[in-house]
Amino acid sequence: MPHPTHGSLDDDAATISAALPPGERVAILGSTSFWSVAGEPIYRLLGEELARRESVVLLSGGMTGVAECTSASFLVTRNRLRLASNLFHIVPLDTSSACVGPVIEAGGSLAERRELLARVASRYIVVEGGPGTAHETEIALARGARVIPVGISGGVAAKLHATCADAYARQHPAWNVLNDKRATVARVVRAAMTLCFDDSPGSQPGTDPET
């Protein structure tokens, strides 16, 4: 895919957006290591369920951990279903990805890459996460994107679940399931999918750039 020129972050994000296929752009954000016992099964099932939705375009920062696990599960399922892969990893210039799938090199540093990833999707699912994830979600929320934090996984996701200003999500009946330690993995993932894609009247999912 074409590499964005090193202009403003908004210009580079627009270049990335224009190069992506149309669809529901979902970015997966989270830790580079597995910290939560609940985490890994959630990543894998989340990748499978996202893959079953044909219109999804999955984006990640190409890192180990959450992105690597979720994207691998996503790609295996897309291949099994004979669907277009629709999987892209945004990484800093001259940097390789830890994940399988096409790479878009953009941004001169990890901080700039985070800024760009936070600008090119309308939906962000957060599992675990540290300071980098907090940076991405802050930008995504500021531009009106929908952020779905899987609170049960801990880290930034837990903090976001407690403080997230997304009124749509907090009022949705599926919201509390994301932080319910008694809920099964399947139920948590189902809640995340519902919050991600339920565009019923009154919801405001944000708009995919350039689609």
Distance CA 200, CA 207 (A): 15
What string of DSSP letters covers 51-84? HHSTTEEEEE---TTHHHHHHHHHHHHHHHTT--
pLDDT of residue 203 exceeding 60, the answer is no
> What's the pLDDT score for residue 127?
92
CB 72 within 8 A of CB 48: no
* Least confident range of 25-34, 109-118, 157-166, 180-189: 157-166
**For the CA atoms of the chain, what is the radius of gyration?**
16
Task: For residue 134, count CB atoms less than 10 angstroms from its CB and return exposed for 0-12, middle for 13-18, buried for 19 or more.
Answer: middle
Q: 40-88 pLDDT, tens per residue? A: 789 899 999 999 999 999 999 988 888 899 999 999 999 999 999 999 9
CB 40 within 8 A of CB 65: no
Provide CB contacts within 8 A for 100, sequence distance 6+: 71, 72, 75, 87
pLDDT band at 1 (very low <50, low <70, confident <90, very high): low
Distance CA 95, CA 40 (A): 25
> What's the pLDDT score for residue 207?
41
> What's the pLDDT score for residue 51?
97
pLDDT of residue 208 exceeding 70, the answer is no
Nearest alpha-carbon partner for 53 in 144, 125, 129: 125
Provide CB contacts within 8 A for 171, sequence distance 6+: none
CB 157 within 8 A of CB 150: yes
Task: List the beta bridge partners of residue 187.
Answer: none
